[in-house]
Amino acid sequence: MKGLPAFFAKRYIAGEERKDAIRVVRHLNSQGILATIDNLGEHVKEPSHAEDAVREYLSLLDDIRDGGVNSSVSLKLTHFGLDISDEIAEGNLRGIIKKASELNNFVTFDMEGSRYTQRTIDTFLRLHEKYTNIGIAIQSYLYRSPMDVRLLIEKGASVRLVKGAYKEPTQIAFPKKRDVDKNFEELMKSLLLKGNYPAIATHDERLINEAIRFADENGIPKERFEFQMLLGIKRKLQKRLADSGYKVRVYIPYGADWLPYTLRRLRERKENLFFVIKNLFD
């Protein structure tokens, strides 16, 4: 990693190789913090490139086991051919999920832009009928998310609740932060009460404190949910929560695609850039 983009990226991205991610996981585990690893990649257009992604994740699962570290994996469906066809993506995912199940590991489907939301949920639900070691991210800035959360709760699926980081039109997404936060809080409480081991994925301390208060008030034990955060963000808060007995999982991206990935995320919404800069000295 070189240059100014690397200055920003190296705090938030483990490196280019699997061993870099495993090294970061081992350090976090030593602090009582769990991890989930994501090999960076999206919008694959060639079947052979999707097959490369499958091989990388199969090797990643082996490395997690062989390294004796505590980490699940996360992935984006367009990395496995969703832009080619639903059938190709689903077929590629089956091998990864099956191996993860054999290794007692867990796979979370990241949520991408809104044009993929329904297809991602449909693929997830088909696979969830056979494999229970999978979860899915839901974005609170979408108007449709309460409906999706209700369905996923009914199906007994594990949900990672996030606010959402893609630029979306106001016809389908809340344009104001206060409305995104309000929806997040309502969905969070539904998941805490009725969900299957939800992940509260936010760096917003008000929402984290509200989750803790709500769980205590309703007799929800710490073992029934976890907090998730990004690598390099709110590191002191991550450690404080872990030291207080809460499960904390850090999202660890790695891969040769780090530069285009970083630039895309920073360009996509001005809020992403402000967020990174604000947390540089945390």
CA–CA dist 80, 136 (Å, integer):
16
Structure tokens at 195: 């969900």
Structure tokens at 72: 């699940």
Q: Please answer whether residues 253 and 231 qualify as being in contact, where contact means their C-beta atoms are separated by less than 8 angstroms.
A: yes
Residue 115 is among the residues annotated as catalytic for this protein: no
CA–CA dist 71, 160 (Å, integer):
15
Residue 110 is among the residues annotated as catalytic for this protein: yes
Catalytic choice (18, 38, 148, 160) = 160
For 4-10, the CB contacts below 8 A with 24+ separation are 5/259, 5/262, 5/263, 6/259, 8/262, 8/266, 8/276, 8/280, 9/258, 9/259, 9/262
CA–CA dist 100, 64 (Å, integer):
10
On the 0-12 / 13-18 / 19+ scale of CB atoms within 10 A, 231 is: buried
Q: Which residues contact 69 (CB under 8 A, 6 or more apart)?
A: 22, 25, 26, 29, 35
Q: Could you tell me which residues are beta bridge partners of residue 251?
A: 36, 230
Q: Please answer whether residues 230 and 204 qualify as being in contact, where contact means their C-beta atoms are separated by less than 8 angstroms.
A: no
Catalytic choice (18, 38, 63, 110) = 110
CA–CA dist 168, 7 (Å, integer):
28
Kindly list the catalytic residues. 110, 160
